[in-house]
Amino acid sequence: MAFRYSFRSPHATLAALLLLGVAGLGAAAVLSPANAQEEVSEVAAAEFANDPEARGTTPEAHKGYDIAARSDRTDHGYGDSRVSFTMILRNAAGQETTRDVNITTLEKADESVGDKSLVIFETPADVRGTALLSHAKILEPDDQWLYLPALKREKRIASANKSGPFVGSEFAFEDFTTQELNKFTYKYISEGELDGMAVDIIERYPRYENSGYTRQVSYTDQEIFQVRKVEFYDRRDALLKTLTLDDYRQYENGVYRAHKFTMVNHQTNKETDLVYEDYEFGLDLDENDFVKGVLRRIR
Amino acid sequence: MLCKNIAIASTLLTAFSGIASAGEWETTTEIGVEARIFLNDPIFPGQSDDTVQPSLTFQSDIRWRSDDGKHEFVFVPYVRADAVDEQRTRADLREGYYRYVSDGDWSVLAGVAKVFWGTTESRHLVDIINQTDAVEDIDEEDKLGQPMLMLSWLKDWGQLDFFVLPYFRDRTFPGIEGRLRTPLVVNEEEVFFSDDDKRDVIDYAVRYSHYFGDWDVGLSLFNGVAREPRFVTPVVPSATPEFFQLYDRITQAGLDLQYTKDAWLWKFEGIVREGQGETYTAAVAGFEYTLYQIFEKPWDLGLLGEYLYDGRDEDITLVEQGVTTAAPFTAFENDVFAGARLALNDTQDTSILAGAIVDAEDSSTAVFLEAERRLGQSWTLELESRLFLNVDEENIFAAFEEDDFLNIRLAKYF
């Protein structure tokens, strides 16, 4: 009981009620603040199957997992999406280069697998049409294919390279491939305040192999349950990078998405910003739109 | 009155821009300037003794896709102007096709297109749809556009492609002044076929490809005119001795495999070919192993190793129904390839690939280096070098022995 968790916002209660309604539980009694901890996990248990290995054994681990699960599951059910973004890479001297990227995502069927995504580069012009198709997994390495339009060649690539930089940016491959709940174990640290928001601070530890991190510290707001900031600690447990997520917007389907990501590398003073355009949802995509054969239709 | 005119004009403008903006146009143009620098004097009569062979290249990629993504038009012209070799000055339509992608899982492509099959790096045995544009480079990676009708099914059990190839394209070759050529110039005007086949005889191909866990698999079958020519000389020698291209009709079955595990890629390509002398097999098998973030930098170092086998018998000429057939010469009967790829993973996408193919029997060695880097947002700089070392006089590379070169290429993208 030491890590009692309480809702502060009426929106959160409403969201929880809606979730309960969907789940058909209708047990409003569990919404009393004293029982909020259990209520979070009951919501989770009703609609999703918690991974006991990822959820851990201690109360801190449970609570950390449940907060992360709620954040993840709040935006569940979007089906598919497409969005363009600009990647701005800034070196220590402040010089900028940019890449325009388009990403299409198919939501996972359940939490035992990951999302499928297709990333296509639009600029720089010499790599236009280069694409990366990923089938994210939980603990096994993701399946990834690279498409090189000049050669019309698709190539399965090793995804053991979790910690390497993604196309010269401050984002590692593991930051970029979809953030699956069960890829980590968790530990609740404390409540806190970030930019005037009440946040839950939790640590997460990669369960998959070849991660470049010992741990990540995430800050999730208590109002709409979105991750606002993540600090990444390298293999020596020194602070390596900080990711800030801004400009959250809610779409008609209820899903929240951040539209600005800022990744600062404290060890090199380099920075990468991702600036997103509007998301498109409801594209009616299916598994067949994410098989490797689609790569050859890109260019 | 004026208001009305403005209203009509604006309505028309809106309607027009509506049509123009239906679907999506995309154009990428690349203009390149390059200098091939030869380190030695040429050995064959007629070859230019210029040390530097400058060239200009132009390629535009123009494509339109309908809003629903079902219809696509693609037009990719390519032009090279070479200061030394007039055979290297020409234009090609690399791609020019219409593609329809159905709501279901099939698509059809009609027109000129490029297709790649295979997994290995040192040689592309299985890849057979497009003819090699050998005047561009000797690595057989530049291809001519191939006219085709291609029907594809994309299912959860894999991809099935059917090809009808109605027109055969000859391989390109350097002219008399060019370097990196055969001792005799290859005649590009008159081309021979081993039986009644002409270039307008239709070739067929089918390919199945899919992935099963960590395995990627491709199976292919081709029936048509071989992309690899034999060289023949006329019975009555002409005033200027030259080679003529002779193409055989072949059937080729191909298998390409890749097994991906951790940082390892294990690759295999194999073919069985019938129609050029005795039926023979050829294969390339090897690996690619990547070391990530070497020297605590974001650099990745890939180590490549492949063994190349080719069972063709170039000496045997079979006489079947009054027609002689034989296999074209190859340099890769029993060879070993070793290479390394360094990717700096920087904002400029700097990468270096270096390697060597060594003949296991006579130790003839071809060394290559390819490096590239983006400059700013829209320029790229590429370096390429090929050196021929310790070449046995019986080896095919003996013709290139004095053609060691360094190519510097600067390209601007629009």
Mean pLDDT value of segment A102-129? 91
Q: Which residue has the tokens 């058909």?
A: A24
In a domain, A201, yes or no: no
Could you say which residues from 192 to 211 on chain B have a Cβ atom under 8 Å away from some Cβ of chain A? 209, 211
* Residues in CB range of B95: below 8 A, 6 or more apart: B61, B74, B75, B76, B111, B112, B113, B114, B145
In a domain, A251, yes or no: no
Please, what is the Cα angle at A292 between A173 and B61, to 5 degrees? 90
Task: Give dist(CA A66, CA A47) in Å, integer.
Answer: 13
Task: Give dist(CA A80, CA A215) in Å, integer.
Answer: 30
Task: Give dist(CA B133, CA B30) in Å, integer.
Answer: 18
Here the CATH number for the domain that contains residue A127 is 2.50.20.10
Interchain CB contact of B375 with A (< 8 Å): no
Please list the ranges in chain B whose pLDDT falls under 50.
Answer: 1, 16, 19
Element (H, E) at B12: helix B2-21
In a domain, A72, yes or no: no
Share of chain A above pLDDT 90, in %: 54
Q: Report CB contact under 8 Å: B156, A291.
A: yes
**Which tens digits make up the pLDDT trace of A157-211?**
988 878 888 888 999 988 877 578 888 999 999 999 999 999 999 999 999 888 8
For each of the domains in chain B, give its residue range(s) and CATH number, in order of start. Answer: 22-413 (2.40.160.100)
- Can you give the pLDDT at residue A167? 87
Residue type, B124: H
The distance of A239 to chain B (nearest Cα, Å) reads: 16
The distance of A298 to chain B (nearest Cα, Å) reads: 10
**Which tens digits make up the pLDDT trace of A200-224?**
999 999 998 888 899 999 999 999 9
Parent domain of A22: 1-47
- Can you give the pLDDT at residue B194? 81
β partners of residue B191 = B245
Burial of B9 (0-12, 13-18, 19+ CB in 10 A): exposed
Q: Looking at the predicted structure, is the pLDDT value of residue A16 above 70?
A: no
- Mutate one of B347, B370, B377, B414 to test the A interface: name it (highest A CB count within 10 A): B347
Mean pLDDT value of segment A45-63? 81
In a domain, A67, yes or no: no
For residue B256, the chain A residues in CB contact (below 8 A) are none
Using CB atoms, which residue from B101, B258, B347 is nearest to A97? B347
Domain edge (last residue) among A47, A65, A85: A47
Using CB atoms, which residue from A124, A151, A292 is nearest to B211? A292
In a domain, A115, yes or no: yes
CA torsion sign for B92, B404, B44, B325 is negative
Q: Report CB contact under 8 Å: A288, B298.
A: no
Using CB atoms, which residue from B115, B158, B260 is nearest to A158? B260
In a domain, A113, yes or no: yes
Task: Give dist(CA A69, CA A54) in Å, integer.
Answer: 11
- Can you give the pLDDT at residue B36? 97
**Which tens digits make up the pLDDT trace of B334-363?**
999 999 999 999 889 999 999 999 999 999
The number of folded domains in chain A is: 2
β partners of residue B90 = B80
The distance of B292 to chain A (nearest Cα, Å) reads: 7
Tell me how crowded residue B45 is: count the other CB atoms within 10 A of its CB. Answer: 11
In a domain, A225, yes or no: no
For residue B207, the chain A residues in CB contact (below 8 A) are none
Q: And the tokens for B158?
A: 């894999």
Report the complex ipTM.
0.89
The verdict on A157 and A291 lying in the same domain is yes
The verdict on A141 and A284 lying in the same domain is yes
Using CB atoms, which residue from A128, A158, A294 is nearest to B154? A294
Element (H, E) at B320: strand B318-320
The distance of A206 to chain B (nearest Cα, Å) reads: 17
Nearest to B244 by CA among B171, B313, B136: B171
In a domain, A29, yes or no: yes
Q: How many CB pairs under 8 A join A and B?
A: 98
* Residues in CB range of A252: below 8 A, 6 or more apart: A281
Q: Is there a contact between A22 and A47 (Cβ–Cβ < 8 Å)?
A: yes
Q: Looking at the predicted structure, is the pLDDT value of residue A46 above 80?
A: no
Q: And the tokens for A197?
A: 């928001």
